[in-house]
């Protein structure tokens, strides 16, 4: 931070503090910043918070719960954005230990969204003295919040008018402004959105990290649920954090040796097995593209189909050749899984940044599937171009791709035409039109403004404006709770239908990913089996977000000995690693069951939070039929053998005597009934009523029967 930059800034509010040392993974306090009235405060982290909410998403939810009212909407000033890493965040010895978790009331779902990102912000925030930052209020002009752990100051500054709008320029501008030399750059991180976040409901956050090898910035996205939209609605241009240099003991673990031992062993496992398993180190999550296609699970043409002959044009082999190889592409120090690959030296081909040479972060599997196969686009250059612009505009690639797939099906079904799209021919595979829509979203103009509403908003708009058949839109619109689906076809996996539908935030794979267990390996034959999996895995995956962990090192590289374990799907030897790291950091000795218990408390708290905001009941766990079965005759006929056999075997029908419409109808009744039975079984396992409300005894057993929590639940019992 230079004197000149400070003088050049207009400081609206300033707070000074003593940067205290981290103790066993906790800084011991959280930061409150109100960009509306300029109040900046420090709040203590209580033992109760550590015991019940742990950190990360748990802290986010607790602070957000106390910050908002029952009727808070996403764009109300009292809505907050809360960011926390968790007690293990900032550990350098174990792969995937630098996640930041964000929560807010979502503009897409109107309930709490949580989303996580790599990058350096969360750990550096802790090392600057804060376990979480909570921003509230609305500024009347663009502001930058600066948290400087080297000087012990927090400032709200007016953002100069020449500050760029889009992240790939803004991030660099911030770095030049707030990090004067190479050492400062290493320990500075920003959170930004982009112009697209200002004009759409699906804005994402970009978390920066300074890449020492490239001597440039990289970005990881907290993509889901429109948090970037909330950031820009508050007129926050950026959050910037700077800390003192990071060392191996910056997180002050209780037992450094235990952490180092566990980490070193995991690195050896990655070295030995990644090259013969998923090859994450050379192609990241893009390896999944071909596998999903092979199993008929890759979304194609708005989730109508699960495979396409052109998939090899965008599969992992293609990206392995495009990604720069040989660099340690972890998004936090010590992540040898290193999936955060990039295409260097990419020349932008369209839009306002045409001709610039940039780094494109990714694309990851979800992006490739969303903006690629789901939209019928199998040109890797177009996927890269969309990936770049989504990130720099601050638009979630998943919501964009899933929403665009919906638009394309509407266009081909006649719901939309060129008159309604402003001349854009948006059939599947129309790359130029897809990019045109994206640029319109970046500028907030023309048809892009409509797409920016998200699928739920578009459904409403099309019914109101064009008198479209609402049921058809409901069937094909791949959203639940208002959030666009992430990229797995679930028609043949009832468990994964629940994995998407029976979630707190909406259909996203980070709660449960059960397709292979259910569909491929047939490990969940009964409703009880599925319900148990839909208890265990959402809790287990929630736990990562409490502590600052990434899930990928848990299950994307596995020692072969795992196959001989009692429950291979849980990967017990890696679960034990997390027991070691959590205990080693916090000094709190835990068992693997304790991890689930921690998460269950937070998970149920989030469910009650949704109920408090007017949602979170059974009716809100409904899912579109496109995720359950074939909506159209064309879809049915494309997999007629499969569906006919099911009619024969499961329903004792004779498909050869039935019309396609009759077969579709019979299948639909059966499948929708199965989903309802699944809900019954899952709610029972989770300790919820038939309406999806956590019972008082469940809340008591979890120790979260606070009066204000009980009051919410009692209204529904």
Which residues make up the interface to other proteins (CB under 8 A)? 92-93, 186, 212-213, 246-249, 256-258, 260-261, 263-271, 326-328, 330, 333-334, 336
Smallest gap from residue 174 Cβ to other proteins (A):
22
Closer CB to other proteins, residue 127 or residue 536? 127
Closer CB to other proteins, residue 267 or residue 279? 267
CA 539 to chain CA mean position, Å: 16
At 611, list the tokens: 């109920």
Closer CB to other proteins, residue 247 or residue 715? 247
- Give residue for tokens 């979260």: 704
**Residue 329 backbone phi and psi in degrees, to 5:** -85, 45
Give bridge partners of residue 13 from the DSSP assignment. Answer: 156
Smallest gap from residue 409 Cβ to other proteins (A):
43
Give bridge partners of residue 31 from the DSSP assignment. Answer: 42, 133
Q: Quick count: other Cβ atoms within 10 Å of Cβ 586?
A: 22
Smallest gap from residue 84 Cβ to other proteins (A):
21
Closer CB to other proteins, residue 256 or residue 633? 256
Q: Are strands 188-192 and 236-242 parallel, antiparallel or unpaired?
A: antiparallel
Smallest gap from residue 330 Cβ to other proteins (A):
6
Closer CB to other proteins, residue 334 or residue 601? 334
**Residue 178 backbone phi and psi in degrees, to 5:** -110, -5
Smallest gap from residue 479 Cβ to other proteins (A):
38
d(CA 408, CA 412): 6
- What are the DSSP calls for 464-497, one per residue? HHH---HHHHHHH--EETTEEP-S---TT-HHHH
Cis omega (within 30 of 0) on the bond before 509?
no
Closer CB to other proteins, residue 127 or residue 305? 127
Question: Coil, strand or helix: which one is 692?
Answer: coil
End-to-end CA distance of the chain: 55
Closer CB to other proteins, residue 333 or residue 683? 333
Smallest gap from residue 713 Cβ to other proteins (A):
44
Please return the burial class of 129, using the count of CB atoms within 10 Å of its CB with bins 0-12, 13-18 and 19+: buried
Smallest gap from residue 329 Cβ to other proteins (A):
9
Smallest gap from residue 89 Cβ to other proteins (A):
14
At 274, list the tokens: 């990644």
At 28, list the tokens: 């011991």
Smallest gap from residue 335 Cβ to other proteins (A):
8
Contact (CB, 8 A) for 45 and 131: yes
**What is the longest distance spanned by two Cα atoms in the chain?**
82
Rg of the chain, C-alpha, whole Å: 24
Closer CB to other proteins, residue 89 or residue 694? 89
Smallest gap from residue 344 Cβ to other proteins (A):
16
Closer CB to other proteins, residue 327 or residue 633? 327
Closer CB to other proteins, residue 187 or residue 406? 187
Q: Are strands 357-361 and 143-148 parallel, antiparallel or unpaired?
A: unpaired
Smallest gap from residue 24 Cβ to other proteins (A):
16
Smallest gap from residue 260 Cβ to other proteins (A):
5
Q: Is 338 left (phi over 0), alpha (psi -120 to 50) or beta?
A: left
At 310, list the tokens: 């052109």
Q: Are strands 236-242 and 205-211 parallel, antiparallel or unpaired?
A: unpaired
Closer CB to other proteins, residue 57 or residue 186? 186
- What are the DSSP calls for 290-311, one per residue? HHHHHTT-S-BTTTTBS--TTG
Smallest gap from residue 327 Cβ to other proteins (A):
7
- What are the DSSP calls for 238-252, one per residue? EEEEE-SPP-TTTT-
Smallest gap from residue 587 Cβ to other proteins (A):
15
Closer CB to other proteins, residue 91 or residue 110? 91
Q: What is the 3-state secondary structure (H, E, C) of 355-401?
A: CCEEEEECCCHHHHHHHHHHHCCCCHHHHHHHHHHHHHHCECHHHHH
Smallest gap from residue 278 Cβ to other proteins (A):
17
Any idea what DSSP says for residue 328? -
Question: Coil, strand or helix: which one is 104?
Answer: strand
Beta-sheet strands, E only, within 470-613: 479-480, 483-484
Half-sphere exposure of 269 (CA within 13 A, CB side): 23
Closer CB to other proteins, residue 260 or residue 674? 260
* Among 576, 550, 121, 57, residue whose Cα is nearest residue 330: 550
Closer CB to other proteins, residue 274 or residue 391? 274
- Give residue for tokens 């699928």: 455
Closer CB to other proteins, residue 256 or residue 651? 256
């Amino acid at each position: 931070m230079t004197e000149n930059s400070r003088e050049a800034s207009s400081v609206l509010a300033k707070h000074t503090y003593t940067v205290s040392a981290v103790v066993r993974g906790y800084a011991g306090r959280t930061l409150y910043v109100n960009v509306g009235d300029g109040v900046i405060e420090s709040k203590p982290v209580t033992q109760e918070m550590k015991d019940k909410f742990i950190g990360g998403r748990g802290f986010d939810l607790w602070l957000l719960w106390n910050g908002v009212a029952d009727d808070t909407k996403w764009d109300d000033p009292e809505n907050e954005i809360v960011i926390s890493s968790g007690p293990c965040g900032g550990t350098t010895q174990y792969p995937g230990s630098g996640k930041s978790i964000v929560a807010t009331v979502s503009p897409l779902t109107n309930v709490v969204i949580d989303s996580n990102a790599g990058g350096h912000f969360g750990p550096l925030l802790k090392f600057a003295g804060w376990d979480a930052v909570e921003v509230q209020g609305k500024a009347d002009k663009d502001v930058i919040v600066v948290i400087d752990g080297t000087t012990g100051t927090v400032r709200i500054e007016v953002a100069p008018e020449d500050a760029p709008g889009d992240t790939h320029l803004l991030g660099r501008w911030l770095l030049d402004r707030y990090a004067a030399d190479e050492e400062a750059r290493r320990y500075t991180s920003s959170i930004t959105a982009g112009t697209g976040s200002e004009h759409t409901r699906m804005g994402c956050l970009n978390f920066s990290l300074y890449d020492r090898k490239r001597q440039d910035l990289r970005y990881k996205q907290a993509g889901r649920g429109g948090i970037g939209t909330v950031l820009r609605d508050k007129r926050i241009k950026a959050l910037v954090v700077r800390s003192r240099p990071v060392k191996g003991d910056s997180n002050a673990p209780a037992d450094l040796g235990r952490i180092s031992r566990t980490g070193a062993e995991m690195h050896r496992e990655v070295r030995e097995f990644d090259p013969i398993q998923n090859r994450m180190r050379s192609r990241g999550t893009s390896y999944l593209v071909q596998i999903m296609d092979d199993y008929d699970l890759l979304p194609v043409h708005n989730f109508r189909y699960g495979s396409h002959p052109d998939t090899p044009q965008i599969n992992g082999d293609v990206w392995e050749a495009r990604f720069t190889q040989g660099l340690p592409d972890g998004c936090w120090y010590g992540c040898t899984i290193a999936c955060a690959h990039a295409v260097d030296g990419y020349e932008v081909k369209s839009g306002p940044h045409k001709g610039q040479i940039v780094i494109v972060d990714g694309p990851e599997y979800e992006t490739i599937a969303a903006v690629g196969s789901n939209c019928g686009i199998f040109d890797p250059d177009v996927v890269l171009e969309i990936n770049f612009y989504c990130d720099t505009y601050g638009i979630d690639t998943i919501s964009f791709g899933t929403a665009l797939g919906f638009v394309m099906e509407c266009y081909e079904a006649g719901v939309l035409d060129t008159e309604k799209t402003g001349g854009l021919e948006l059939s599947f595979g129309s790359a130029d039109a897809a990019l045109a829509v994206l640029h319109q979203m970046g500028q907030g103009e023309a048809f892009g403004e409509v797409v920016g509403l998200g699928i739920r908003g578009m459904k409403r708009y099309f019914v109101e404006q064009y008198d479209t058949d609402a049921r058809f839109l409901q069937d094909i619109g791949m959203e639940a709770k208002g959030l666009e689906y992430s990229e797995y076809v679930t028609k043949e996996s009832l468990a994964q239908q629940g994995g998407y539908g029976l979630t707190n935030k909406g259909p996203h794979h980070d709660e449960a990913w059960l397709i292979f267990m259910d569909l491929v390996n047939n490990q969940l034959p009964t409703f009880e089996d599925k319900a148990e999996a839909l208890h265990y895995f959402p809790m287990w995956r929630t736990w990562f977000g409490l502590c600052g962990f990434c899930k990928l090192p848990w299950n994307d590289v596995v020692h072969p000995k795992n196959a001989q374990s009692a429950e291979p799907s849980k990967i017990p030897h890696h679960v034990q690693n997390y027991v070691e790291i959590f205990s080693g950091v916090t000094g709190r000795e835990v068992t693997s069951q304790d991890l689930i218990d921690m998460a269950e408390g937070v998970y149920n708290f989030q469910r009650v939070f949704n109920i408090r905001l007017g949602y979170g009941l059974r009716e809100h766990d409904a899912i579109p039929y496109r995720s359950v079965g074939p909506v159209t005759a064309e879809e049915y006929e494309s997999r007629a053998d499969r569906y006919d056999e099911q009619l024969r075997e499961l329903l004792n029908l004779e498909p050869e005597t039935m019309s396609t419409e009759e077969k579709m109808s019979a299948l639909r009744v059966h499948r929708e009934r199965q989903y309802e039975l699944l809900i019954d079984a899952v709610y029972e396992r989770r300790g919820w009523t038939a309406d999806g409300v956590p019972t008082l005894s469940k809340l008591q057993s979890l120790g979260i029967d606070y009066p204000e929590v009980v009051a919410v639940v009692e209204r529904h019992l």
